[in-house]
Amino acid sequence: MFTTSRLVAIALCAALNFSIGNIVYLVKLPVYLDSVGTILCALLLFPDLVAAIVCAFAAGLIGVILTGLVLNPFLPWFTLTVLAIALVSALLTARANGTFRARPLPTGAFVAKVVTFGIVTGIVSAVTAAPVVAYLFGGVTGSGSALVVAYFVKSGNLLWDATLRSGLIIEPLDKTLQVLLAALLYHATPQEFITMLRPSVQPSAT
Amino acid sequence: MTPNGAIVFGLLVITGATIARDLPGLAVVLAVAVVFALGSGKRVVAALGWSAAIVLPLAAFMTLVWVGIVGRAPAEIASGIEGSRANAAAYVAVIALRLFVIAFVIQAIFLRFRGSTPFQFVRQVSAPAVAKKLIVLTLSLIETILHAVDRARIALIAAGLITRRPSWSNLRNGWLLVQTVWLTVVTIAIGRARDKWPIENTLSLIDGALTDAAPRRLTVIDGAWSLLALAGAGIAWSMR
Amino acid sequence: MARELLTGPNFSGRSTGLTARLRAATPASAFFVGPYAEAALSGLSSTVADEIEIYRARPQPVRPAFSAIDFTAYAARKPPTLSGGEQVLLALHCFSLSHCRAIGIDTALEQLDPANRDDALAYLSQADTRGFDVTLIDNRLEQQDGWTQTAMTGSADVACDPVAATAGLAPCAAPVIAIERLSFGYPKGRTIFQAVDLALEPGRAHRLAGANGAGKTTLFKLLAGVLAPSDGAIRLDGAPYAPWRGGNRVFALATQNPDHQWCGATLEEDVARRRAALARHGIVAPTPDAIARLATLLGAPSLDAHLYELPLAARKRLSWLWPFSGTLPWIMLDEPTVGQDRATRDALASAVTRLCALGYGVVFITHDEEFARLVDHRPLRLEHGSITA
């Protein structure tokens, strides 16, 4: 399972997960993109499903552990969410690898698949994260979620419901952005690297 | 104390913080963590400060939601009673203190081993060899990425595609910085995996550096700290 | 024990020949130092101490150590934060501590300043007595006493003509750059510039020299608007110029590692984005066709070639594209000749000379003394926070 090239892919994607927060901070963007590496790892290892799931999860797990030690100590609590994102990415998102890799990029198909898989990833992420957010954070993880949760709770929803509803609004947007970034990075990745990871798959003729 | 012992201690403290339901229980767990951190000397102040910086913004948002807007605690909502802002504040305090304990114990462990190099730390951790290699490889690539970020940022600012300050250009083109960094680091990784590593058999070479000559899973001191953490968790549980 | 120098132009098969020799050695007894800084080190350590630990022979070293720098003082430093030259010296230090009995160095010595380069060559020249084989590629060495010279004769027919690339440029009235009492220091770090006064004249090349870590790249960053000075000002023909606020409108930059400057995965994407960014600043760039012709002259196979899939030497040449396009009046070149053969280096020197004759201003950083001799330049020395001519 853990060939040299797959170790490199896992480590690269874990490092990307960790580092990308620094990048968005430097360019002052109001987002935090912490699963781009996980999704990208699944794309890189597809069509070997087992390898894609295992390596994507490993990348996500190492990323949250290291981020938890240095930047955000609460991130390791979302390990189940990391696993869920790895599964969705390997089983669903990675099936669009042909579209993401095509040159020229088919814009319509590309956008449709990014949005579709981003929403699915967001829903799965929201569902798996809701219990952690509700119990550990009182439903609130930041400024955006604070107001949304407040609205739902004030409307009579229980904490878990409000957290889930808040997540279902915010997570699809966030994860669509992350799927978009992962797809763009996958599109740009040199063929030599992809061939290194999947020696049995020939490069496409596009 | 060994890294294995510190990891066990940390997990026990975090478990205690998770199962504690009220402020006195959390205070007991926090006290265990503080005693541990005091063993690091003056770094306990750094750990406290860092943890407070992480938790205070979250506490502020929670206060806004539960005390300012909702005006009652979740349990009161679930029971259908009118509730009070005081109870909401107590709820926020419990959540915030729990988060603080978790952040604090992780930071205290991190600072305790700050003098060790990553190899020294990973060498002593009881983990499969492939996991150790992955961790050191990831740490190395993080440094490579952060350096590449700095260099790529210089060039993209010089080219006028992104700016030093927040701007619409950054919103439009910030992803280019990510792409440039990714491609740079992938190219470096390809070069190493194609040439340097096979020629030198480097991945086998680090087995020697990552293997502890005298492996110790847990020491007596590790056991003592773990018992203390277990006691704290037990007290927190009994206070529920 | 063999000392072998592989010679030949770029793309003649030197790198392939070098790695083939190392692969033929006993497994795990060879050491490879690749053609750019990041390829010198293992990629498995996040501190200098750990890097040394990977290679250190146990129970004891088999030969005297090569220690151009005292690396114990660098123990906690992160390898990527070292300069390119320091990374190469660290790699050589690790090799000297290892069990390895063969080392191959692919143009990496070109990143060393003259003193360290001489030390490294002296150490490698003692391979016979120190018990190892060495295979070296170095564009700045013609021959070395006691070394076997092997001429590589393969040809990938990748033409590069920097002189022709500048042939169609019109004269340029580049502005005078006046740096007035410029001060800068990194937060919690040392002062890099202390009230520096400097005039950069158009129509001239200026060579910026200084020790590693002196602040040469920092000056490039200030001029390109990446950093803001703590005090002082920059003027263009007397008018205030603050690129850290208004963006860079003057300097075309070619970075030391070409991979750090691309604005796209393909040359086509890079060109399109740069043209759009320049247009937003009201700067007219050459047409896409003109850029394409220029890229061809610099060796680009096609505009839709994936930049990162090109050989490193080819990417380095393409990093000169925008500096030679005539779009911006001043040009900054950071170690432009690393990895380039003599013919290309000489052509680059002619191209830089031509740019100056047309009125462009050039500032370059280089350890390549031969290149510096070929370009009529004004030497500038950065030392202890000041720049002296």
pTM, two decimals, is: 0.88
In a domain, A131, yes or no: yes
Rounded mean pLDDT, B111-118: 83
Q: How far apart are CA C76 and CA C49, in angstroms?
A: 6
| C 178-217 residues inside an 8 A Cβ radius of B | none
In a domain, A93, yes or no: yes
- Interface check for A31 against chain B (CB to CB < 8 A): the answer is no
The nearest alpha carbon in chain B to A193 belongs to B190
The nearest alpha carbon in chain A to C307 belongs to A190
Percent of chain B residues topping a pLDDT of 90: 34
Q: How many CA atoms lie within 13 A of A71 on its CB side?
A: 15
**pLDDT tier at B2 (50, 70, 90 boundaries)?**
confident
Helix (H) or strand (E) holding C363: strand C361-365
pLDDT (0 to 100) of residue A127: 95
In a domain, C157, yes or no: no
What are the tens digits of pLDDT across the range C186-199? Answer: 887 778 898 999 99
Task: Indicate the number of domains in chain A.
Answer: 1
| Contact between C308 and A190 using a beta-carbon 8 Å cutoff | yes
Chain B residues inside the 8 Å CB shell of A11: 134, 137-138, 140-141
> C356 and C224 in one domain?
yes
Strand order in the sheet with C205-209: C251-254, C330-334, C361-365, C205-209, C377-383, C386-388
Q: How far apart are CA B192 and CA B209, in angstroms?
A: 19
Total residue count of chain B as it appears in this document: 240
Q: How far apart are CA C143 and CA C334, in angstroms?
A: 27
Q: What is the CATH number of the domain that holds A187?
A: 1.10.1760
Tokens of B56: 């205070």
Distance from CA of B68 to the nearest CA of A (A): 9
Provide the number of CB pairs (under 8 Å) joining chain A to chain C.
Answer: 9
Cross-strand partners of C103: C31, C134
Q: How many CA atoms lie within 13 A of B240 on its CB side?
A: 12
pLDDT (0 to 100) of residue C144: 82
> C337 and C202 in one domain?
yes
Out of C265, C304, C309, the one facing A192 most closely (by C-beta) is C309
Percent helix, strand and coil across chain A, each to the nearest 5 = 80, 0, 20
Match 């991130």 to its residue by tokens.
A75
What are the tens digits of pLDDT across the range C61-71? Answer: 788 899 988 89
In a domain, A51, yes or no: yes
What are the tens digits of pLDDT across the range C27-45? Answer: 778 999 998 767 889 989 8
Whether residue B134 contacts residue A55, with contact meaning beta carbons closer than 8 Å, is answered with: no
Q: How far apart are CA C43 and CA C266, in angstroms?
A: 26
Give the count of beta carbons closer than 10 Å to the beta carbon of residue C99. Answer: 15
What are the tens digits of pLDDT across the range B42-99? Answer: 678 888 898 998 899 889 988 988 899 889 888 888 888 888 999 999 999 999 999 9
> C172 and C145 in one domain?
no
> C336 and C202 in one domain?
yes
In a domain, A37, yes or no: yes
In a domain, C368, yes or no: yes
Whether residue B137 contacts residue C43, with contact meaning beta carbons closer than 8 Å, is answered with: yes
Low-confidence ranges of chain A (pLDDT < 50): 202-206
| Contact between A188 and C265 using a beta-carbon 8 Å cutoff | yes
| Terminal-residue alpha carbon distance, chain C | 46
pLDDT (0 to 100) of residue C143: 78
Distance from CA of A82 to the nearest CA of B (A): 17
Tokens of C32: 């490879």
Cross-strand partners of C177: C200, C236
Q: How far apart are CA C217 and CA C256, in angstroms?
A: 10
Match 């994607």 to its residue by tokens.
A13
> Which structural domain, as residue segments, surrounds residue C366?
162-388
What are the tens digits of pLDDT across the range B153-191? Answer: 888 898 888 888 888 888 888 888 888 889 989 999 988
Task: Indicate the number of domains in chain C.
Answer: 2
Tokens of B9: 């201690």
What three-state secondary structure class fits B22? coil
* Region of residue C387 (left: phi > 0; alpha: psi -120 to 50; beta: else): beta
The nearest alpha carbon in chain A to C266 belongs to A188
pLDDT (0 to 100) of residue B129: 86
> C262 and C343 in one domain?
yes
Q: How many CA atoms lie within 13 A of A24 on its CB side?
A: 16
Out of C22, C39, C251, the one facing B158 most closely (by C-beta) is C251
Of C121, C151, C181, the residue at which a domain comes to its end is C151
Average pLDDT, chain B: 88
**pLDDT tier at B217 (50, 70, 90 boundaries)?**
confident
Chain C residues inside the 8 Å CB shell of B154: 220-221, 224, 226, 253, 255, 260
Q: How far apart are CA C365 and CA C319, in angstroms?
A: 15
pLDDT (0 to 100) of residue A205: 38
Q: What is the CATH number of the domain that holds C315?
A: 3.40.50.300
Of C126, C151, C176, the residue at which a domain comes to its end is C151
In a domain, C110, yes or no: yes
What three-state secondary structure class fits C6? strand
pLDDT (0 to 100) of residue B120: 84
Of C113, C129, C151, the residue at which a domain comes to its end is C151
> C175 and C133 in one domain?
no
> C251 and C355 in one domain?
yes
| Contact between C257 and B176 using a beta-carbon 8 Å cutoff | no
Q: Which of B64, B57, B92, B102 is nearest to A138 (CA)?
A: B92
DSSP C59: S
Tokens of C200: 């950069």
Whether residue B196 contacts residue B204, with contact meaning beta carbons closer than 8 Å, is answered with: no
Q: How far apart are CA A162 and CA A177, in angstroms?
A: 23
> Which structural domain, as residue segments, surrounds residue A173?
4-197
What are the tens digits of pLDDT across the range C63-95? Answer: 889 998 889 999 988 898 888 889 999 999 999
User: Which residues contact residue C29 at a Cβ distance below 8 angstroms, ignoring those fewer than 6 apart?
Assistant: C99, C100, C101, C102
Chains that touch C (3 or more CB pairs under 8 A): A, B
- Interface check for A27 against chain C (CB to CB < 8 A): the answer is no
Q: How far apart are CA B148 and CA A84, in angstroms?
A: 30
In a domain, C156, yes or no: no
Q: Are strands C361-365 and C330-334 parallel, antiparallel or unpaired?
A: parallel
Q: How far apart are CA C358 and CA C351, in angstroms?
A: 11
> C372 and C229 in one domain?
yes
In a domain, C345, yes or no: yes
User: Per-residue pLDDT for C353 more than 80?
Assistant: yes
Q: How far apart are CA A88 and CA A97, in angstroms?
A: 14
pLDDT (0 to 100) of residue A24: 66
What are the tens digits of pLDDT across the range B122-148? Answer: 888 888 888 988 998 999 999 889 888
The one-letter amino acid at C262: W
The nearest alpha carbon in chain A to C309 belongs to A190
Chain A residues inside the 8 Å CB shell of B145: 15-16, 19
pLDDT (0 to 100) of residue A204: 44
Match 């040359």 to its residue by tokens.
C267
Among B182, B200, B210, the strongest candidate for a mutation testing the C interface, having the largest count of C CBs within 10 A, is B200
pLDDT (0 to 100) of residue A70: 80
| Contact between C309 and A188 using a beta-carbon 8 Å cutoff | no
What are the tens digits of pLDDT across the range C245-269? Answer: 888 999 999 988 888 888 889 999 9
- Interface check for B188 against chain C (CB to CB < 8 A): the answer is yes
Q: Which of C217, C175, C219, C178 is nearest to C197 (CA)?
A: C178
Q: Considering only CB atoms, which residues of chain C are within 8 Å of chain A? A: 265, 304, 306, 308-309
Q: How far apart are CA B9 and CA B222, in angstroms?
A: 8
pLDDT (0 to 100) of residue B154: 86
Q: How far apart are CA C44 and CA B97, in angstroms?
A: 38
Whether residue B140 contacts residue C43, with contact meaning beta carbons closer than 8 Å, is answered with: yes
